[in-house]
Structure 1
């Protein structure tokens, strides 16, 4: 097992979870300033985790 691939999969899963949470918050928002900040924070963190996890999995060579 390659540790980088496992870490990349974990980052990808965390990114997907954060993006799903952002979508849930977006559907339940009332337009307050706190809601907008929460949307931006979780959305950006989700995108960063998702893209870094995907790129880590893609660039890691599979050595058996």
Structure 2
């Protein structure tokens, strides 16, 4: 099992959760704008970093 690929998957999932949470709170119009911006930006960073790790990690047979 490749640790980088697993970590990339975890980061991607955390990013998706953060982005969905931000979207739901924006739609409900409940929440502080600064908090939403921080959660949204961190979610986006996690998502993009996770996708990059999964995409750029090569599968090497042992």
Shift of 1:35: 1.5
Equivalent residue, structure 2, for 1:40? 37
Question: Could you say what the CA RMSD is over the residues aligned between the two structures, in angstroms?
Answer: 1.1
Equivalent residue, structure 2, for 1:28? 28
Runs of 4+ in 1 over 6 A off after TM superposition: none
Shift of 1:3: 0.5
How many pairs are equivalent?
61
CA distance in 1, matches of 2:26, 2:42: 15
Equivalent residue, structure 1, for 2:60? 63
Secondary structure of the corresponding residue to residue 14 of structure 2: helix
Q: Is there any run of 5+ residues in structure 2 with no aligned partner, and where? A: none
Q: Is there any run of 5+ residues in structure 1 with no aligned partner, and where? A: none
Relative to the length of structure 1, the TM-score reads: 0.88
CA distance in 2, matches of 1:57, 1:3: 10
Relative to the length of structure 2, the TM-score reads: 0.91
CA distance in 1, matches of 2:17, 2:59: 26
